[in-house]
Amino acid sequence: MAESRVIIGTLVSCQRNLVAGCLASNVPIFEGANFVGRNNLNVSDKRVSRKHISLQASFDGSAEVVVEGPNPIIFRCGGQRKKLSSQEKAKLDDDSSVLKIEKRQCDGETSVIKRKRQADEYEFSSSTLQVSS
């Protein structure tokens, strides 16, 4: 038996004056993982990846938005404009407020930080050896 997904909301593109725009078709939002990208646009735009935004939605109205593509997105929440850059994520509450915006560390960034820390430790131990000699 195939499991059917229940729509819990709709993502609508808006113009600056918050009137529904024609840039993208209304995107149904299901509980769990959702992806929004180039296929959802009515016009061709290479700045938008095929899976540009991932949205983890839940029935309680909260959601987590992650920009997977290389270009940032702008969204309106609680009357304010928010910008999310690539690999940043925002946690949204059901009353249209942003709880937290944070940058995700990818594996490459983590290894760079580890290498820098190891280099600093090596430099520290080398200077300690010189002082003690």
Q: Which of 62, 132, 58, 130 is CA-nearest to residue 96?
A: 62
CA dihedral for 56, 62, 68, 73, sign (positive or negative): positive
Establish if 131 belongs to a structural domain: no
User: Residue 108: which CATH number?
Assistant: 2.60.200.20
pLDDT confidence bin for 121, thresholds 50/70/90: low
- Burial of residue 82, with CB atoms counted within 10 A of its CB: 0-12 exposed, 13-18 middle, 19 or more buried: middle
> In this structure, is residue 54 part of a structural domain?
yes
pLDDT at 31: 92
- The predicted model scores a pTM of 0.66
Which residues form the domain of 83?
A: 7-126
53 domain-assigned = yes
| Residue 69 located in a structural domain | yes
Overall number of domains in the chain: 1
**Structural domain includes residue 98:** yes
Chain mean pLDDT for the chain: 75
Query: Does 35 map to a domain?
Result: yes
Instruction: Indicate whether 1 belongs to any domain.
Output: no
